[in-house]
A = this chain, B = another copy of it.
Amino acid sequence: MAAGAEQNNDSVLAGLVHRLRLHSALADADAEALKRLPHTVQLMRQNSQLARTGELTTQCAILVKGFIHRYRATDLGQRQILAIYVPGDPIDFDHLFLPVADDGLQAVKESLVAYVRHDDLRELLASRPGIAEAVTRALLVDASIFREWTVNVGRRDARARIAHLLCEIALRLKAQGLDFRDSPLPLTQDQIADATGLTPVHVNRTLRSLGAEGAIQRKGPLVLLPDPEALREVGGFDPRYLHLR
């Protein structure tokens, strides 16, 4: 756990409401109730852990700012990144029902995380079916994304894998009202490798080749997207699996 300041800011959970409304029609009363949920906010340092595989949790995390990834490791120590969360995303609401953590959670860069207690959230879900349904739907959309990642890693070559990953994150950011340009993804090539099932060396070469064609633009460690359309082509990206309205 990173050191963190506790606060109680009213609009911290607005991003979560926005995310739920991407998939569900949430009544205003429900939205207000959600935002009033008691919560604490923590600043997570880059690379700090939110949870470790096997741990028991009693709180749920919501990403407010920054990026967080979910990963799992094989017995041989090979790491596979399974999800990359953007602001507004519920990070581990699955722990509400399966309190033992499957996966590790780590801050990609310095991030702001809101915590709500399982008890409080459970109470809210029980009293407001609209919220319960919206949360369930969000969990199922996440599952659809997990499946697309399997497709990505299993059936696309290196260029397409990376392009697809970037398209997805760009679109999910945009859906949250954010922009790749404003908050460019600070993934290292190591992390891209672990997300796509490749090696860092090959990611480097592929990124380089994509840059040469103009499909992406690079500034230091960051990747910008000058040509989303071209990238979409390369990645064979079809956003239906994101279930955006």
Interface residues of A (CB under 8 A from B): 23, 54, 72, 74-76, 78-80, 82, 94, 97-98, 100, 102-103, 126, 129, 133, 136-137, 139-144, 146-151, 153-156, 196-197, 236, 238, 240-241, 243
Contact = CB atoms under 8 A, between A and B. Distances in A.
A140 B80 contact: no
Contacts of A139: 136, 139-140, 143
Please tell me how many copies of the chain the complex holds. 2
B97 A197 contact: no
A137 B153 CA distance: 26
A75 B147 contact: no
B141 A143 contact: no
Contacts of A148: 72
A165 B102 CA distance: 18
B97 A137 contact: yes
Contacts of A141: 98
A197 B197 CA distance: 12
Nearest to A161: B154
A98 B236 contact: no
A74 B151 contact: yes
Contact of A154 (B80, B133, B144, B147): B80
Contacts of A72: 147-148, 151, 241
Nearest to A126: B129
Given A80-B154, A140-B139, A243-B98, A74 B147 contact: no
Nearest to A154: B197
Contacts of A78: 155-156
Contacts of A98: 23, 137, 140-141, 144, 243
